[in-house]
Amino acid sequence: MNREEVVVAIVVADTVRTELNDDYVGLWIVPWRVRRALPSATDGIVRDLSEMILTGLLSVGAVLGDLDGESGLFIPWPASGAIEAAMDAWRALGRDPNIGDVGWLARSW
């Protein structure tokens, strides 16, 4: 990972953390922001940076989960294995997640 990629990961993580102060954030926003900052990044780099960003966010209290379609309530995933589940679901898509794909982030701080 080069310096530019590390800076992008920090900026994206900080941006998402700020957005979590107002609302849930779809996981799709992470690779979307990474691709906007690094347009020439390969799919692998985008996934690696996104996984690093998710790991950082969860380490400071964010949680991954789903939004209930009827109630709109956030349903957290078990913390153990949440990132792996999200990344597995992403890989199964065969593309970057889009709005509503894979999962959501919520703040717990």
Interatomic CA distance for residues 23 and 99, integer angstroms? 15
User: pLDDT digits over 8-62, tens only?
Assistant: 999 999 999 999 999 999 999 999 999 999 999 999 999 999 999 999 999 999 9
Total-model pTM:
0.94
108 pLDDT band, cuts 50/70/90, is confident
Give the pLDDT of residue 66: 96
Q: Domain span at residue 7?
A: 3-107
List the CATH number of the domain containing 27: 1.10.3510
- Structural domain count, the chain: 1
User: pLDDT digits over 49-98, tens only?
Assistant: 999 999 999 999 999 999 998 998 999 999 999 999 999 999 999 999 99
CA 80 vs CA 21, 63, 97: distances in Å: 23, 11, 22
Give the pLDDT of residue 109: 64
